Structures are given as structure tokens and as C-alpha cells.
Chain A
Amino acid sequence: MKLFLSFTSSFLLLLNSTNALASACCSGGFAAPALIAGEQKAQFTQNLSLSEEHAYVDNEGYWHDASEKEYIQTLRLEAAHIISDRWQVGISAPYLERSKAGNSASGFGDISGTVGYEAVTDWTYDPWQPKTILFGQLIVPTGKSIYEFNDAMALDARGRGFYSTGIGGLLTKNWMKWDAFLTAELHKGFTKQVDNQQIQGELEPGWGHSYTVGGGYNTAWWRFGASISTTHEDPVKVNGTPGGSQNFTAAALSVSYFATTDLVGTLTYADQSLFGTPENASLQRTISLQFQQRWQR
């Protein structure tokens, strides 16, 4: 039973590792949904990460070496709770410190709320049918964005700057000691008016989407996982003039230790410079440590 619980609730650890750490520019990546992937009643997650900017890729696909590295430390707190057999709600709040060349700025990033519905259960133990959780997400722009920064190096830009809503699905499946997951989400930001020294007028974000696929091998107390995710953001229009779209791919390796059935620690390394054809993206290498406490039904 313990092994089964470990399998079914370990997907989210890796999902968080690839999506939440990914950021195209200025810590503005779309947040991974705070979801209970297993059979728990509730869970609370603390994730502490350190990212180093490896390179910046411009609109023409040229990679620029970051001679002056930027570092981002993030503490992300997440909580999720079921509200019925199939419905759940969650919230995720990141606190970031960005530093570069001896300067730093810190504060909250964008806070997100999630509603999930378990559309396909694994109560029948079908050998192939994946458990499917559909989710909706609301991103609240509590972090300052690259369109509104005050710091000379824009280190106080910690969010996307738009209210955004998204929908998606998380599919999970176990086969003996192996597990696999797939998540896909689509989001859209809302237009907003800006009036500052940098921009006067309307910002119109486009659509964005991301996909993550991953898997892992489980023992009684350990899980070894890998995943890869790709993210696309449409250009943001400023007073009707579009910029460039953003694309990047993140790969992650993780190892989890199940101290008890309800307490899991995960160490993850994620790298955005290994795969894909990035565009308009700041590529980061991230190491993170995560602790997750769960409460059974």
C-alpha cells in the first residue's frame, strides 16, 4: 500500500521541478498547478531553488553568454486540498530574490490558484487507462513585471504582469515499479493598461501553452525520475505592435526519498539549455530541494 501511494503521488514532484522553475524571462514562467496527483486529502509543499542564468537566446536564435551571471533564489509554498471525492483546490505562492553584479531585489512572484477535477480515476486498476485530472488555473500578477520594473537592472521583475487563466490536464500511470506522466496546459493573459516611464498604453498578451512528459523508477523508499517540458508564449503586443514569441525546453532529473508515506523530500536538477530551439529566452540551470507533507483521506 505504501508503495502504491508513493507511486501515485510522486508525479507532481517532478512536474513542479520542470515547470515551476522554468522562466523565459525575468521569472515570468507560467506556474505549475498545485495539484494532488495521488489519493491524499491534502498536501503542503515547500520548494527552495537556486537558478543560475546560463545564457540568453535572442529573437534571431543567437545564444549570448551571460558573462555577468544572474542568480534567482525562490521559495515556493504550495497547498492543495480535496473538496470532494473528485474535486480539489490549490494555491501556489513564490517568493523570489534576483541578484546580479552585487545588486539584488526580492519579493513575491505571481500567485496562482488551481481547481482540479479527477475526470478519469484509476479505481478500476485498468492496465493502460491513465488517471486524468483536468484543471483550471488563475494567475494573479502579484509580482512586478518586466513592463513595470523600477530597479536599474530590472531585478525587481518577478512576474508576467498579467492576470491569466489556463486549462489543462494531468495524466498519470503506474506499471509495477515504473511510472509516467503527461501534462498539457493552455493559457491566455488579459489585456491591461500601463502608464509609466517605460510604456504608456495597452499591453496585450497572447496565448501560451506548455507540455511536460516524464517518468520514474520507484523502489520502496526512493524514486528516480526524469522529465522534459516545452513552453511557448505568444508575443506581447504593446499598443498593437507585437514583439517576438518565446520558446524554451527544460529537462529535469530528480531523486525523491520517502521518509514516511506522508513526507517526501526531492532533490532536482533542471536545465533549460539542453534541448529544443529556444527563442527570446533566458536559459537557467536550477537545483532545488523540496519537502512535501501529505495527509491521507
Chain B
Amino acid sequence: MFGKLFLTISLLVLAACAKPNWAPTRSLDPISQSEEAACSLKFSKSGVCIYWKWEKHPNESDVGSFVFKTYTIDEDGSMNAADIQDDMNVELWMPDMSHGSSPVEVSKTAVGTYRADEVFFIMPGKWEIKFQIKKSGVIQDEAVSVIHF
């Protein structure tokens, strides 16, 4: 009796074996961000364009950094640096897990140009890079870029 039971349970267990679907190697580049002139990423309220690219890729044990620009585009297609008067903040958010990562340090290097340092993702998966304009700690405007880490 126990032999048959053991066989039945063994077959059920084997049928439930995990089937790993290993993630393809993906670029760390932002999804849905085309060339700079296309203004494919913009702040939701002001419409100011934002473009970013990695300076140093982060990995599972080390931080990375990226630079980003804020700008507007004239009717003739020329790009003008947009000087953001309020605080610029970058937040890393994992939407599928409802949590963030360690704080990112943002510094202004020129008018409309910023560097984000200490960029670190605490686990693999889909992450949002939230560019936030804050005034007195309150978010005034936001642009969200998505990557797969």
C-alpha cells in the first residue's frame, strides 16, 4: 500500500518540477527612450524633455552613475537646456515589489545637466528610474524611465 502511495506522490512531485525560464541578457539602457532629439521622455506636467545615459553601469555588488539633461525643443528643432529652479531628485523604484533602493545622489554639473551617483539596484528585475522635481520636499513634476536590471 505504501509503495503505491509513494509512487503516486513521487509522480505528482515530478510533475510539479520547476521549469526555469532564464532571463535573456538585456541591455541596461532605458526602454522606450530613443535619440535625444525625439524627446521621448518628458516631465508629465511641464513637458520638459529629459534624456539620460549611463556613465558607469551598476552591477550586483557595485554602484553605477548616469548623466541626464533637461531641455526643451523649439519649433525649428533646436534644443535648449532647461534650467530647473527647484530640487532635482532621482528615485529608484521596483514596481513589482513595491519598494525602492538605496538613495541616489544627484548633483548639477551645468545648466540643464546633472549627474546621478550611487545608483544601485538591490535585486534583478524591472525598475523605474523616477526623475522628480521637488519643492520643499514635495514632488512637483515627474518623469519615469524603465529599465531591466
Using an 8 Å CB-CB cutoff, how does the interface string of A235-246 with B read, 1 for contact, 0 for none? 111100111100
- Quick one: closest A residue to B122, CB to CB? A154
Contact across chains for A242 and B98 when beta carbons are under 8 A apart:
yes
Complexed CA–CA distance, A236 and B99 (Å)? 9
A residues near B77, Cβ cutoff 8 Å: none
- Quick one: closest B residue to A61, CB to CB? B21
B97 at the interface (CB under 8 A from A): yes
Min distance, Cβ A157 to any Cβ of chain B, angstroms: 9
Using an 8 Å CB-CB cutoff, how does the interface string of B33-65 with A read, 1 for contact, 0 for none? 000000000000000000000000001111100
B residues near A56, Cβ cutoff 8 Å: 123-125
Min distance, Cβ B123 to any Cβ of chain A, angstroms: 6
A-B interface pairs (CB < 8 A), number: 107
The interface size of chain B toward A, counting residues with CB under 8 Å, comes to 34
Contact across chains for A249 and B18 when beta carbons are under 8 A apart:
yes
A residues near B103, Cβ cutoff 8 Å: 197-198
Contact of B23 among A58, A101, A199, A242 (CB under 8 A): A58
Contact of B16 among A100, A235, A244, A276 (CB under 8 A): A276
Contact across chains for A58 and B124 when beta carbons are under 8 A apart:
yes
Complexed CA–CA distance, A88 and B143 (Å)? 55
Q: 8 Å CB contacts to B: which residues of A133-154?
A: 146-147, 149, 151-154
Min distance, Cβ A54 to any Cβ of chain B, angstroms: 10
Contact across chains for A280 and B96 when beta carbons are under 8 A apart:
yes
Contact across chains for A146 and B18 when beta carbons are under 8 A apart:
no
Min distance, Cβ A262 to any Cβ of chain B, angstroms: 29
A64 at the interface (CB under 8 A from B): yes
Contact across chains for B61 and A199 when beta carbons are under 8 A apart:
no
A residues near B21, Cβ cutoff 8 Å: 61-63
Contact across chains for A276 and B97 when beta carbons are under 8 A apart:
no
What are 5 contact pairs spanning A and B, CB under 8 A?
A: A56-B123, A153-B102, A244-B96, A251-B13, A277-B19
Q: Show the binding face of A for B, using Cβ within 8 Å.
A: 25, 55-56, 58-68, 100-102, 146-147, 149, 151-154, 175, 178, 197-199, 203, 228, 235-238, 241-244, 249, 251, 273-278, 280, 282
Q: Show the binding face of B for A, using Cβ within 8 Å.
A: 2, 13, 16-24, 59-63, 91, 94-103, 118, 120, 122-126
